[in-house]
Amino acid sequence: GQPLVFDMVYDKHMNRKEMENTVKQILETESWNHRSPDPFHIHFCSLQTEGPFHKELIKRYKEAWDKLLVTATEKAHVEMFPKDKLVYLTADSRNEMKAYEHDKIYIIGSIVDKCMQPGLSLANAKRLNLRTARLPLEKYLHWEIGNKNLTLDQMIRILLTLKNTGDWKAALEFVPKRKYGGFVNTQHHSRIKLELLGEKKV
């Protein structure tokens, strides 16, 4: 399957609660992936043996840890894969993701930060000179005020749907409804415009 990287370098940026939350989301992520007819080959990169992430993962998974269909490695993504194949996903990217690319290796930052550290994953990607991309949320959804950072389980459900259908609308159904005011409907827009033009004529 297509590799998907979880970048495990963020343990120092999280408190205990946030770390527990992240691992909980990773468990959900793995289970969504598992259930897919065409799953990703998940890689936990930069996972330090006996480090905080490793310990929490083992505590949660217990004996299931060794049976997981993931590759866990201390190596960084840039040591595992060619740089030109890697795309770091981050809400702070200037590049809007256009089409889903089956030959790219997407990287997700394994971080849940309640106290909001904007630009953390973007800074990491920039330091390593990696391509970045953000989901086209504003293009498809009427975005309200909420921040655009999605959780890890939402991210994998979106990516799995894109991978299997290429359908942005179906994929973005996994963005929590409270975050936006409906899908952008271009047909509807042009009809309103026509109606307005019609009214002017009268």
Query: Per CB under 6 A, does 176 bind ligand SAM?
Result: no
Q: Is the dihedral of CA 83, 175, 59, 31 positive or negative?
A: negative
Residue 165 in contact with residue 123, Cβ under 8 Å? no
Q: Which residues contact 202 (CB under 8 A, 6 or more apart)?
A: none
- Nearer to ligand SAM among residue 150 and residue 160 (C-beta): 150
| Contacting range for ligand SAM; rule: CB under 6 A; set: 65-73, 111-119, 159-167, 192-200 | 111-119
Asked if 141 and 180 touch (Cβ cutoff 8 Å), the reply is yes
Contact criterion met (CB below 8 Å) for 95 and 131: yes
Q: How far is the CB of 19 from ligand SAM (least distance, A)?
A: 13
Residues 36-75 that bind ligand SAM (CB under 6 A): none
Residue closer to ligand SAM (CB basis): 58 or 120: 120
Alpha carbon distances (Å) from 1 to 70, 154, 183, 201: 11, 20, 31, 58
Between 125 and 164, how does the x/- string for binding to ligand SAM read (CB under 6 A)?
---------xx-x----------xxxx---x---------
Minimal distance, residue 163 CB to ligand SAM, in Å: 15
Cβ closer to ligand SAM: 72 or 137? 137
Min dist. Cβ of residue 155 to ligand SAM (A): 5
Give the residue at shortest CB distance from ligand SAM.
109
Q: Cβ atoms within 10 A of the Cβ of 38, count?
A: 10
State phi, psi for 191 to the nearest 5 degrees.
-65, -40
Contact with ligand SAM (CB under 6 A) among 89, 141, 162, 172: 89
- Least distance in Å: CB of 171 to ligand SAM? 12
CA 2/CA 14 separation, integer angstroms: 29
CA distance 178 to 168: 18
Q: Which of 38, 79, 83, 118 binds ligand SAM (CB under 6 A)?
A: 118
Q: Supply 143's token pair.
A: 């975005």
- Across 134-193, where does the E strand assignment appear? 141-143, 180-183
Q: What's the closest the beta carbon of residue 135 comes to ligand SAM, in angstroms? A: 4
Name the residues that contact ligand SAM, by CB under 6 A: 89-91, 108-109, 111-113, 117-121, 134-135, 137, 148-151, 155
